[in-house]
């Protein structure tokens, strides 16, 4: 066989071997891409996304779209060819697998966590919208989760209302940890609670729960700290009672990033006129009970998904502005927001057409 022919054959075989290896060998990466975007003022799967009863609502026009990111599953392992293609694709992003699924988190665990965050974001969106409208919302501190095999297991339960710790009234979730950590590990701490069942029964009957229990728990030392920090093994959260019913109907979505857009949609439906002036506005951002907007992941994917659906303006959390502005889709204006008040102010300018002074995202933030 001539030397040139042999060399070409060897090179071809080597190339085939490399391609086969690229297809077969998994790499520790995952892919993010633009996901669905849904108008919070419209319908999804044949029913309104926001359903409000017991309060007058108003017709709305335009779009206030929440945005999502599609990710590969925890169990899926990309091969080298897919990773290279993802790196080269403009609208996709390849990231280390542990970025999306840290500490070996399973698909089921990730889905459960995202569902819990989504549920909490809905609650905060309702509170933020109603507080903005000066509509009172009753709130109280509850046991959010109980750690397995912790001192609190079997003594406190998810949904228990925490009235006080060691006789000191609890007004916010962070009060609980502050009061518990005043103790040393091995010391007793006293909780005054309304049991979850009693609270649920009182809410159903539209009355204030009066049944209380005193629960004494011996603290333990935290496993994640070299310090002598006392814990009981719970996380505290906030629950609310709303003066009317607000349901958010949106399946197969997780995480907290739709909070801002849900809050704006609720506000729009409860006020005359409309927030957008008929324009197509999309956005993202977490929101807390006070209306503070927080950053999210996958901002570049969300702006692409929004623009592909026709969005003209994108409400962008302040802390995501730098990343979003580095590759803004043509025809999309990124509007920087830090609170629900910022978003409402920007929407006022958008519907009036006076957009010259909108706080826009730039690469300098």
- The 10s digit of each residue's pLDDT in 282-291 is 999 999 999 9
Please list, in sequence order, all residues whose beta carbon lies within 8 angstroms of the beta carbon of residue 108, skipping any fewer than 6 positions away.
none
What local confidence, expressed as pLDDT, does residue 318 receive? 97
Q: Are 196 and 158 in contact (CB under 8 A)?
A: yes
**pLDDT tens for each residue of 322-347:** 999 998 999 999 999 999 999 999 99
Check residue 365 and give its pLDDT. 44
Percent of the chain with pLDDT over 70: 80
Lowest mean pLDDT among 84-93, 113-122, 217-226, 316-325: 84-93
Residue 84 pLDDT > 70: no
pLDDT digits (tens, 9 = 90+) for 118-144: 888 999 999 999 999 999 999 999 999
At residue 89, φ and ψ (nearest 5 deg) are -70, 135
């Amino acid at each position: 066989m001539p030397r040139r022919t042999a060399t070409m054959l060897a090179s071809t075989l080597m190339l085939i071997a490399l391609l086969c290896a690229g297809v077969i060998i998994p790499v520790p990466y995952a892919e993010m891409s633009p996901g669905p975007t849904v108008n919070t003022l419209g319908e999804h799967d044949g029913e309104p996304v926001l359903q409000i009863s017991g309060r007058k609502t108003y017709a709305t026009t335009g779009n206030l779209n929440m945005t999502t990111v599609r990710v590969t599953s925890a169990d899926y392992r990309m091969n080298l060819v897919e990773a290279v293609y993802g790196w080269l694709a403009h609208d996709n992003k390849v990231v280390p697998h542990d970025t999306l699924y840290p500490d070996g988190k399973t698909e089921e665990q990730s889905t459960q966590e995202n569902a819990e965050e989504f549920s909490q974001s809905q609650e905060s969106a309702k509170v933020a919208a109603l507080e903005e409208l000066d509509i009172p919302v009753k709130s109280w501190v509850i046991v959010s989760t109980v750690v397995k095999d912790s001192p609190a297991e079997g003594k406190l339960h998810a949904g228990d209302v925490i009235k006080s710790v060691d006789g000191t009234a609890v007004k916010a979730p962070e009060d609980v940890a502050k009061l518990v950590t005043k103790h040393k590990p091995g010391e007793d701490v006293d909780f005054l609670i309304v049991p979850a069942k009693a609270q649920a029964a009182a809410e159903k009957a539209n009355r204030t729960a009066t049944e209380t229990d005193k629960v004494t728990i011996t603290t333990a030392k935290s496993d994640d700290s070299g310090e002598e920090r006392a814990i009981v093994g719970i996380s505290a959260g906030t629950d609310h009672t709303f003066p009317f019913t607000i349901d958010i109907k949106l399946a197969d979505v997780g995480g907290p990033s739709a909070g801002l857009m849900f809050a704006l949609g609720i506000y729009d439906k409860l006020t005359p006129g409309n927030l957008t002036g008929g324009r197509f506005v999309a956005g993202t951002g977490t929101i807390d009970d006070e209306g503070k907007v927080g950053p999210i992941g996958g901002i570049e994917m969300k702006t692409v998904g929004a623009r592909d659906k026709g969005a003209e303006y994108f409400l962008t959390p302040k802390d995501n502005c730098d990343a979003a502005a580095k590759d803004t889709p043509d025809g999309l204006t990124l509007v920087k927001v830090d609170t629900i008040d910022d978003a409402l102010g920007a929407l006022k300018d958008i519907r009036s057409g006076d957009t010259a002074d909108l706080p826009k995202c730039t690469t300098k933030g």
